[in-house]
């Protein structure tokens, strides 16, 4: 049975995190203080270039492995702009009433709805009472 994309991505992410932790341990050269310093230096604004070289290498390998795994499982992995849009059907269009869902537009109306040329009905009466002070 083919694995779902969610299951595959969870496995890929778990593997990538474990590889990154192992790379952090390798980068610290077995020194606990150095490992803690490297972990504490990472935060939400940490750039890829700020990570230790071993972690960068592990992340790059995980990304390559993730794409290869997705392709091997039969999923398509392409950039958004590289896939051509689906072709539009060619040939005659089916006969359909023109003018939108409510039929043809009325003569004298503006395209897109707009305001009518003159107001509909009388103006509402203003409330009576003392004038406002500004």
Instruction: Judge whether 13 lies within some domain.
Output: yes
Mean pLDDT within 108-133: 70
Instruction: Judge whether 79 lies within some domain.
Output: no
Kindly report, residue by residue over 14-44, the tens digit of the pLDDT: 999 999 889 988 888 888 888 888 888 888 8
Per-residue pLDDT, 1? 46
Question: In angstroms, rounded to a whole number, what is the distance separating the alpha carbons of residues 17 and 12?
Answer: 9
Kindly report, residue by residue over 66-101, the tens digit of the pLDDT: 888 888 888 877 766 666 667 777 767 666 555 555
Instruction: Judge whether 104 lies within some domain.
Output: no
Instruction: Judge whether 32 lies within some domain.
Output: yes
Instruction: Judge whether 87 lies within some domain.
Output: no
Banded model confidence at residue 124, pLDDT cuts 50, 70, 90: confident
pLDDT mean across residues, the chain? 79
Per-residue pLDDT, 34? 87
- What domain count does the chain have? 1
Per-residue pLDDT, 60? 92
Q: Is pLDDT of 47 > 80?
A: yes
C-beta of residue 24 within 8 angstroms of C-beta of residue 35? yes
Question: In angstroms, rounded to a whole number, what is the distance separating the alpha carbons of residues 132 and 134?
Answer: 6
Q: Show the domain range for 35.
A: 5-72
What SS3 class is residue 92? coil
Instruction: Judge whether 95 lies within some domain.
Output: no
What SS3 class is residue 126? coil
Instruction: Judge whether 29 lies within some domain.
Output: yes
Give the contacts of 53 (CB within 8 A, at least 6 positions apart). 27
Instruction: Judge whether 56 lies within some domain.
Output: yes
């Amino acid at each position: 049975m083919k694995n779902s994309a969610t299951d595959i991505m969870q496995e890929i992410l778990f593997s990538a995190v474990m590889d990154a932790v192992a790379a952090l341990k390798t980068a610290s050269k077995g020194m606990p203080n150095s490992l803690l310093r490297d972990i504490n230096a990472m935060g939400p604004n940490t750039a890829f270039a700020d990570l230790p070289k071993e972690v960068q290498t592990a992340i790059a390998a995980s990304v390559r492995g993730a794409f290869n795994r997705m392709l091997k499982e039969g999923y398509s992995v392409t950039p958004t702009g590289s896939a051509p849009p689906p072709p539009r059907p060619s040939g005659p269009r089916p006969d359909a009433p023109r003018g939108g869902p409510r039929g043809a537009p009325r003569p004298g109306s503006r395209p897109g709805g707009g305001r009518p040329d003159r107001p509909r009905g009388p103006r509402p009466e203003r409330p009576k009472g003392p004038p406002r002070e500004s």
